[in-house]
């Protein structure tokens, strides 16, 4: 049993929404525990400045950023070293699935805004980012799902909240692409034996598969809603 | 903002040679897949630093200097000293490095080295307190990349460990409200010896210690830092692709073994 009443292998409640922003080409909103994260995708669009463009593929760009009010003590809005590192690893977790060679000389820009942070925000950010990419209609081989496993009081526990993470002994964030069986994000800090690592990795991969199903549902739901709107419109036209 | 890197242009023929060799279980510099390039370590070359070490990994060369100064603790850890790791990719080290504030590659390098030292509790920060909540020792670990021929993380982590083990500090004492440093040659309180091992995936092969030529063709990279007991204290995946679960298990196993070998080499020199 954990402080929020969860089992060791239980995820926090997750809410996924797609197409939440008007101007972005694709967007998603993720809640996981008290995490509240907005992700927007712009692109493929013309590369600015031009010299950053690559001749044979699109450049993927990513900014992970935390709102000043997202944490207990106000965080300076200037990008920290942590945010710069996370921008890099989030980008690298998505690079393997995006078919960037379809859009040479362009950029695909990803903005991950953490409105409220509650542990595991990089993973929730990745889960949201792949939804936003799909929402933007950018061809991908698969959605990427991510989840962390931690070690608290000597035991491996799935999806640590902020409170658990602060008193935890290890944190192991993982992103996973189910159909390719590929781990595309892997970080670790703390102390784990190799046996604990292998068990933790397995727990994280299983959780990613669960989240992956939820991602597909969230995408389907949006198209279902669009279909309903269209049908209603058609019906009213028939009546008229 | 983090962007897909622009790799320096490498002749396609050269890339193909590197990849084909690896597919046949060989490497361009005639090593086996699980062997390191020659490791050389020297300590104490910078007299004005408290500790220093230079590590050569083949043609890669990294210098680390450790400086210990007096500072204030973080409010959430009032009785602990402060450890900071910074990395500079010097423009003299590679045609692709430019002067300016640290980019994401330098930041990642520093943070991966930092995590290994911090999480293994290599430096006993509790004993670096001078006056609780007011004055503590601050340990600055500055990583200076001098020549970039691949696998900077391992070279930097080894040099950082060497420099910390090599460091000598005076005695910090309170005299009224002031901290005075009595000259002396006391070692830093070092409790653990984290060593990073970086593996690259090229095709279906996992290699240790990728050279620059191999980094340019690798699909993904994994760094595993292990402590003196063989526990993992830090990990970082990099690169444009990923690893399967089985590849990760194999990589971790290999990393634990290689770290033990490299740890012995560093400590033999650093402890003198």
pLDDT tens for chain A, residues 1 to 240? 788 999 999 999 999 999 999 999 999 999 999 999 999 999 999 999 999 999 999 999 999 999 999 999 999 999 999 999 999 999 999 999 999 999 999 999 999 999 999 999 999 999 999 999 999 999 999 999 999 999 999 999 999 999 999 889 999 999 999 999 999 999 999 999 999 999 999 999 999 999 999 999 999 998 888 878 888 888 887 776
Q: Are B192 and B228 in contact (CB under 8 A)?
A: yes
**Helical spans, DSSP H, in B24-177:** 104-119, 152-166
Question: Which residue in B has a C-alpha nearest to residue A199's C-alpha?
Answer: B249
Cβ–Cβ below 8 Å for B108 and A201 = no
Residue A7, domain member (yes or no): no
Chain B residues with CB inside 8 Å of A194's CB? 230-232, 252-253, 256
The number of distinct structural domains making up chain A is 1
CA–CA distance, B263 with B227 (Å, rounded to integer): 9
Interface with chain B: mutation pick from A113, A169, A186, A205, highest number of B CBs within 10 Å: A186
**Helical spans, DSSP H, in chain A:** 81-94, 121-135, 162-167, 194-239
CA–CA distance, B10 with B87 (Å, rounded to integer): 26
pLDDT at A18: 97
Residue B195, domain member (yes or no): yes
Residue A179 belongs to domain spanning: 14-239
Chain B residues with CB inside 8 Å of A191's CB? 119-120, 227, 231-233
Cβ–Cβ below 8 Å for B2 and A84 = yes
Residue B89 belongs to domain spanning: 25-270
Cβ–Cβ below 8 Å for A85 and B104 = yes
Interface with chain B: mutation pick from A60, A92, A96, A175, highest number of B CBs within 10 Å: A92
Residue B260, domain member (yes or no): yes
Kindly state whether B237 is in contact with chain A, defined as any CB-CB distance less than 8 angstroms: yes
Residue B246, domain member (yes or no): yes
pLDDT at A27: 98
Residue A99 to chain B, least CA–CA distance (Å): 12
pLDDT at A223: 81
* Whole-complex ipTM: 0.90
Instruction: Provide the 8-state DSSP code for A51.
Output: G
Residue B46 maps to which CATH number?
3.30.230.70
State the pTM of this model: 0.93
Query: In chain B, which residues have pLDDT < 50?
Result: none
Residue B5, domain member (yes or no): no
Residue A9, domain member (yes or no): no
Helix (H, G, I), strand (E, B) or coil at B116: helix
Q: Are A27 and A40 in contact (CB under 8 A)?
A: yes
Residue A2, domain member (yes or no): no
Q: Say if strands A59-66 and B82-89 run parallel, antiparallel, or are unpaired.
A: unpaired
CA–CA distance, B43 with A2 (Å, rounded to integer): 47
pLDDT at A238: 76
Question: Which residue in B has a C-alpha nearest to residue A166's C-alpha?
Answer: B76
Among B166, B168, B139, B157, which residue's Cα sits nearest to residue B62? B157
Residue B227 to chain A, least CA–CA distance (Å): 9
Residue B117, domain member (yes or no): yes
CA–CA distance, A14 with A148 (Å, rounded to integer): 14
Q: Are A174 and A186 in contact (CB under 8 A)?
A: yes
Residue B14, domain member (yes or no): no
Cβ–Cβ below 8 Å for A186 and B243 = yes
Residue B9, domain member (yes or no): no
The number of distinct structural domains making up chain B is 1
């Amino acid at each position: 049993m954990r402080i929020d009443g969860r089992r060791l292998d239980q995820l926090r409640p997750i809410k996924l929404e797609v197409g939440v922003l008007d101007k972005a080409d694709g967007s998603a909103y993720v809640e996981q525990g008290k995490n509240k994260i907005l992700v927007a995708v712009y692109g493929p669009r013309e590369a600015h400045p031009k010299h950053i463009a690559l001749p044979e593929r699109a450049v993927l760009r990513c900014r992970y950023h935390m709102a000043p009010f997202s944490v207990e003590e106000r965080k300076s809005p200037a990008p920290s070293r942590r945010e710069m590192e996370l921008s890099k690893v989030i980008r690298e977790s998505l690079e393997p699935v995006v078919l960037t060679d379809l859009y040479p000389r362009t950029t695909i820009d990803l903005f991950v805004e953490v409105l409220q942070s509650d542990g595991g925000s990089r993973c929730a950010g990745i889960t949201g980012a792949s939804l936003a990419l799909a929402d933007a209609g950018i061809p991908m081989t698969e959605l990427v799902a991510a989840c962390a496993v931690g070690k608290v009081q000597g035991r491996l526990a799935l999806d640590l909240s902020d409170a658990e993470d602060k008193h935890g002994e290890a944190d192991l964030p993982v992103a996973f692409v189910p159909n390719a069986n590929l781990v595309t994000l892997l970080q670790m800090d703390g102390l784990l034996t190799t046996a604990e690592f292998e068990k933790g990795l397995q727990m994280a991969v299983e959780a990613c598969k669960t989240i992956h199903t939820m991602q597909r549902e969230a995408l389907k739901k949006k198209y279902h809603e669009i279909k309903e709107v269209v049908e209603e419109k058609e019906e009213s036209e028939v009546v008229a | 903002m983090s962007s897909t890197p622009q790799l320096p242009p490498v002749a396609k023929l050269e890339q193909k040679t590197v990849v084909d060799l690896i597919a046949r279980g060989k490497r361009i510099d005639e090593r086996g897949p699980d062997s390191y390039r020659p490791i050389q370590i020297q300590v104490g070359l910078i007299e004005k630093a408290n500790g220093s070490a230079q590590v050569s990994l083949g043609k890669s060369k990294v210098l680390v200097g450790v400086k210990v100064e007096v500072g204030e603790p973080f409010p959430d850890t009032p009785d602990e000293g402060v450890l900071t790791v910074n990395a500079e990719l010097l423009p003299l080290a590679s045609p692709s490095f430019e002067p300016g504030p640290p980019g994401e590659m330098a930041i990642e390098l520093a943070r991966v080295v930092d995590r290994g030292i911090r999480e293994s509790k290599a430096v006993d920060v509790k004993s670096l307190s001078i006056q609780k909540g007011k004055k503590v020792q601050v340990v600055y670990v500055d990583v200076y990349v001098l020549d970039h021929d691949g696998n900077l993380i391992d070279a930097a982590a080894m040099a950082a460990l060497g420099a910390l083990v090599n460091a000598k500090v005076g005695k910090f004492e309170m005299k009224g409200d002031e901290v005075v440093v009595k000259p002396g040659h006391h070692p830093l309180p070092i409790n653990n010896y984290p060593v990073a091992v970086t593996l690259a995936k090229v095709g279906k092969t996992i290699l240790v210690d990728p050279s620059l030529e191999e980094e340019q063709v690798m699909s993904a990279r994994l760094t595993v830092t292990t402590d003196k007991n063989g526990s993992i204290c830090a990990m970082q995946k990099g690169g444009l692709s990923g690893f399967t679960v089985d590849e990760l298990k194999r990589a971790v196993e290999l990393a634990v073994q290689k770290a033990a070998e490299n740890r012995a080499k560093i400590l033999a020199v650093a402890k003198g």
